[in-house]
Chains A and B, each alone.
Chain A
């Protein structure tokens, strides 16, 4: 898939690495050119300096040919707006963004925008670790949080469309 990632913070950089490893073509956008220093060495990802909520920047990054779009800047509203531009103006088939505020996530879920709330995910994982400090209960979520490998279904051929 052609994937566009908006925001080259820790999550954006890590996601770029994972997706390239899975064989996808990644374009990553950040307002600050020095953010790309977070990317691991040897990655092929195309780097675009610009505002991910600006349509001209997105066109420059190839949004018209994108199969998937991820917005992970450090602002909930920027992510929401970038993702809605990709979904509404460019009809990218697979769009997801990060929203820290759980209430806002709920609102946008109702509006048909897919998102991950690290606040909720993180709090639940921390709770699990507190309840089971010696790790006798394992789950994919827990393994992911601890940095262990978790098999995914067909990571290289993941469907570009969403339900």
Chain B
């Protein structure tokens, strides 16, 4: 894949390095001349000086053939513009933006950014997962396709315990992708039986989160955390 990365800070640097190791064609853009010298010494010719917010820069690095454009600068406004320009001017659907202020995640999703990554929100969700009250944790949201990945820890009170997945009669908006039981990863099938303390990883669309809350967690219909838009 050809991947353009905007922003050569820590995240941009490590991302470029790892993607190169995976044999992807990567191009890293940074505005700062001194930083570009440093990055080039480490990474080689994949680093170019330029403002990824500018259409001219993106054009010069062949944005129209990029499979993915990733914006990981420290400024949300720059990450937003990089992704929007890549999408609007170059027709790139797969844009990923780092969101520094967690409150901006909804805005970015509404404005059509394919994937948003908010380290702050991710850490918050992980902390929430440690608190008994929060049993459904959104891990990632792909607003473009209306898809979410959530983690659900089965509480002792769950009505799903000792039932097979088939017996739960989950709608098409919920797809259980993986069950983690202790150290074991279980690929769920129709006759897999749910146990207490299982961690379910599910792909959800539309009302999927709500279905999980009602049928697996037996929560009230009140939505407590973010739902997939």
Contacts and interface: CB of A to CB of B under 8 A. Distances in A.
B111 interface: yes
Contacts of A89: 106-107, 110
Interface in A75-104: 75-78, 80-81, 84-85, 88-89, 101, 103-104
Contacts of B53: 76-77, 104
A136 interface: no
Nearest to A56: B103
Given A54-B101, A77-B81, A85-B107, A107 B76 contact: no
Contacts of B17: none
Given A88-B107, A89-B107, A107-B89, A53 B55 contact: no
Chain A residues touching B, range: 20 to 34
Interface in A101-121: 101, 103-104, 107-108, 110-111
Contacts, number: 53
B88 A110 contact: yes
Contacts of A80: 77, 80-81
B72 to A, nearest CB: 15
Interface of B: 53-56, 75-78, 80-81, 84-85, 88-89, 101, 103-104, 106-107, 110-111
Given A56-B103, A77-B80, A84 B54 contact: no
Interface of A: 53-56, 75-78, 80-81, 84-85, 88-89, 101, 103-104, 107-108, 110-111
- Name the 9 nearest CB pairs between A and B, nearest first: A77-B77, A81-B77, A103-B55, A77-B81, A78-B77, A107-B88, A88-B110, A55-B103, A77-B78
16 contacts: A56-B103, A77-B80, A77-B81, A80-B77, A80-B80, A80-B81, A84-B111, A89-B106, A89-B110, A101-B54, A103-B55, A104-B55, A104-B85, A107-B55, A108-B84, A111-B88
